[in-house]
Amino acid sequence: MEKLFGLVKVNGLELAVQDADCSLFVGRLNLDSATTGGDLAISNVPFTSAVRFDEISGKRYSCADCTKGVYENSIFKPAVYFRNDNFAIISIDIASGSCSNGFIEFTIDVRGINYENNGTISVSGKICAACYPIDAQQLLYGLSGPIPIRFAEYYLPIIGLPGIAEGTTLSGVIKIFGQPNHQGGGLHAQYGSISNWIRYTLTNCYLHLQFIDDLVTQVTIISLNDPPCDLRRTMG
């Protein structure tokens, strides 16, 4: 008998979950599944400071109006993908069960809207998903986006770099990595005022660090295959 990975109702229609997996990065949960009605994904559910699945085990995230939520990166807002349509999540209630044998169970209840065609979606039910932690390859391919500093101490060692603790200053970073290869910030003709930053060209990646009031606020790992724009212009 084929293993069942859960049952969900999408707009009232009950669908079997045929397989599912989830990833967790800088406190943002992505849940991907294939159902008898098509692919279903629930993305960017915030779990604040979690970096491991056992840290969200038994936890619940609920928001009655996600449109009023304040996020560190406004691009990453909770969303639902079903078949070929994307929906911004309006409300969400997601609870995680125990994490064992590489699987974790979620109880979900979400409501979303497609702003392009005013379509709505409701998803509720249970999904049992395989846990896929972020690994070095994903980080080194530059898929991470900005990493808030409170997570850097965990993620940088995954790619063989020293961790950077929250509260680290510019001088503290220089003690760890030496003098940066590039730096910038201040007034920009196109983007206005931007935060001060420094960047290192390392053997396995470019490492970009942003500062506010001399404190590191976020770190970005950039693939060597995709140089930053200012550096690309000098490469001919």
Domain ranges of the chain: 6-131, 136-232
Burial of 124 (0-12, 13-18, 19+ CB in 10 A): middle
The confidence score (pLDDT) of residue 143 equals 62
The tens digit of pLDDT for each residue in 199-213 reads 999 999 999 999 999
Topology of domain 136-232, CATH = Beta-lactamase Inhibitory Protein; Chain:B, domain 1 (3.30.1450)
Give me the DSSP letters along 192-227.
EEEEEEEEEE-SS-EEEEEEETTEEEEEEEE-TTS-
Q: How far apart are CA 104 and CA 58, in angstroms?
A: 10
The pairs formed by 168-175 with CB atoms below 8 angstroms and a separation of 24 or more are 168/215, 168/216, 169/214, 169/215, 169/216, 170/198, 170/211, 170/214, 170/216, 173/198, 173/209, 173/216
What number is the average pLDDT over the span 1-5? 58
CA 80 to chain centre: 14
The tens digit of pLDDT for each residue in 104-153 reads 999 999 999 999 999 999 999 999 999 999 999 999 986 667 899 999 99
Taking CA atoms, 120 is separated from 10, 14, 87, 174, in Å, by 10, 17, 7, 50
Q: Given a cut of 50, is residue 47 above it in pLDDT?
A: yes
Q: How far apart are CA 20 and CA 201, in angstroms?
A: 37
The confidence score (pLDDT) of residue 2 equals 45
The confidence score (pLDDT) of residue 3 equals 57
Q: Given a cut of 50, is residue 169 above it in pLDDT?
A: yes
The tens digit of pLDDT for each residue in 172-203 reads 999 999 999 999 887 777 777 788 999 999 99
The confidence score (pLDDT) of residue 77 equals 86
